[in-house]
Amino acid sequence: MKPNFQPKNIVNTIEKLTEDGLKVVEKASLGTSWDSVVVATDQMAFELGKFTSVNSHLNAVMFNDEFNQQYEKTLPIITNFYSDISTNKVLYQAYKALKKTNLNQQQQHIVKDAIQSFELSGVGLEGRIAHRFKAIKKKLSLLSNEFSKNALKSTNEWKKIVGKEELKGYSNNELAKIKTDKGYELSLQMPVYMDVMTYLDNRDLRAEVYKAYASRASELGMTSTDYDNKPIMDEILSLRAEMANILGFEHYAQLSIASKMVNKVDEVIQFLSNLVERSKPQAQLELAELKDFSGIDLKPWDLGFYSEKLKEQKFGFKKSDLTPYFPEDSVLNGLFSTIKNLYQIKIEQIQQDSYHVDVKVLDVSDKDGLIGRIYLDLYARENKRSGAWMADYQPLIEPHKPVAFVVCNLNSPTKDKPALFEFDEIVTLFHEFGHALHHLLTKVKYPCATGISGVPWDGVELPSQYMEFYAFEKQVIALISKHYKTGQSLPDDLFKKLIASKNFHSALAMLRQCEFSLWDLKTHMSNSDTYEVLTQVRLETALMDSIDESRFLNTFEHIFSGGYAAGYFSYKWAEVLAADAYYYVQGEGGIGSNASKDFLYNVLQVGGSLDFMQQYIKFRGKKPSVNALLQANGIF
């Protein structure tokens, strides 16, 4: 179950696997049974997926130009291979013929999804149009990698050495993170950037760091313009529009929605606009209060700083008061105990080498033995893609167990202290483990629908956002908190202050996420420049002007190098499901209740093998309500 973390000759390996894979597909396309068609192609996809997953993962977490050059050569090979499969008319007909055979409910759903996937992948295209469609997919895979590479390199290139006297507002915790032999080094790595925005008194330096961060991968790059992503973004959007038009859709947003739970683009826009309308009055009050408190003409680089000061005044604590109570070992042990209490499974670290010294290898087991494995990569570092994510290395395919990568960019240990996590970082960790549990706890034995496979994109965030809620429970915080010096759990008074502050500026945050989602949909519905689209969306969502240097779309990897194109709304839609699910479970007894187990049985274990919304209704008893999301955010 240990991935090969020293890949060699990856181009030759991928070429050989895809050549062999096409032979498997050729044989499977002549099959007439579930085993001869689906099982055969699943097995082939499993063998190839192990290699492509590791290559993609290493390129994201240990980027270097030499490996990336080889990795880029594999992208057209892989894209062509999957294009050939998804447009194989004989295989398509074999799947259609399976509908008339004696299949169980899960198999019927899998075949139905596969047929839709064929049709959305251009199986009905012929001749020149079919060749063009395939060329678009190949080009998009290369552009996405180029976008991600530029985002990473532009993040890494900016650094600034400053003296301690310029860092007023920093505690010893923040100073320890950036201390070097040359002085104190500021960078655009997320933990460092967030400390600048939150604690640094020096407004001019905050502005400098903010502008460097906001202008990454653009023509305004503070140290280099070599990584300008705008031409790549324009080409990606143009190619997506052309792809959608070829398939008969009006725009790419329609193509994206076709494979999701929601029915129409207008339905999503109405959902998001409703959230904006419900949130805006409260957000205006939140911003007005912040302006009054600051006493200055607020700029974007002031928001985090004065928000933290106002939060401290209103609730009687600051973020840095919490971090000593959340050292890494306590957080992980408490998280694992919480998961055990929820789902009766055990997570233990094992001693095994991995691709980086920081990576922890975790075995997940239940009363019957090993369930799967997680490779946990926690800390921020150079040459590692920003953000946090879960990636599946291997699905459940007997005799193989599911394996996942969980990646974060959190605070790392220093010479004097263990890694001390911000509470926001802990919520992120819970989120990614929600994804991992969805992948590992599956009972589906069909790899194409096991774990997260086959789950509609607007449902895949449900388990992760549902898991976030547990980070705020008192019994869970008692498990994850242990002061790194005294061993004391988070005191009751601090816990109460933390909970009281949970929805501080939640309406402003809601507007921001709706802005991203609306822009994402509308930029995939329009031929206008994507920044012009953003300007129009901000007329509805924004309460403060943006600065001229802002080019944040140029590093928006979810949209341009991830899987969220015209689907970023999935976070908000899944938040509705997650809040609705959590409040229902709480009302039925919470952790350890039958309702909690029902979530496991009806959502986590079935993966993409059955209709996702029907499974949610089976668990919940009815469709989710948007009021649960508003309640969770304290918006009424």
Which are the catalytic amino acids? 432
Q: Give the torsion sign (CA, 341, 345, 346, 352).
A: negative
Could you give the CA distance from residue 220 to residue 486 in angstroms, rounded to a whole number? 48
Smallest CA-to-CA distance from 506 within 278, 225, 227 is with 278
| 3-class DSSP assignment, residue 321 | helix
| 3-class DSSP assignment, residue 66 | helix
Q: 166, 173 in Cβ contact below 8 A?
A: no
CA distances from 57 to 60, 63, 71, 354, 424 (A): 5, 9, 11, 13, 24
CA atoms within 13 Å, Cβ hemisphere of 98: 31
SS (H, E, C) 573-628: HHHHHHHHHHHHHHHCCCCCCHHHHHHHHHHHCCCCCCCHHHHHHHHHCCCCCHHH
Smallest CA-to-CA distance from 514 within 301, 241, 237, 280 is with 280
Q: Which spans in 295-400 are helix H? A: 300-315, 319-322, 328-343
Q: 529, 305 in Cβ contact below 8 A?
A: no
Supply 306's token pair: 């004065």
Strands 360-366 and 183-187 come out as: unpaired
Supply 502's token pair: 């949970």
Could you give the CA distance from residue 267 to residue 296 in angstroms, rounded to a whole number? 40
| 3-class DSSP assignment, residue 205 | helix
Q: Which amino acid is present at 541?
A: T
Could you give the CA distance from residue 377 to residue 388 in angstroms, rounded to a whole number? 10
CA atoms within 13 Å, Cβ hemisphere of 587: 8
Q: What angle do CA 418, 499, 285 make, to 5 degrees?
A: 120
Could you give the CA distance from residue 504 to residue 497 in angstroms, rounded to a whole number? 11
Strands 159-162 and 183-187 come out as: antiparallel
Q: 217, 192 in Cβ contact below 8 A?
A: no
| 3-class DSSP assignment, residue 361 | strand
Q: Tokens 């139905």 appear where?
A: 112
Q: 205, 166 in Cβ contact below 8 A?
A: yes
Q: 456, 54 in Cβ contact below 8 A?
A: no
* Beta-bridge mates of residue 162: 184
Q: Tokens 């000593």 appear where?
A: 324
Q: Give the torsion sign (CA, 297, 303, 306, 310).
A: positive
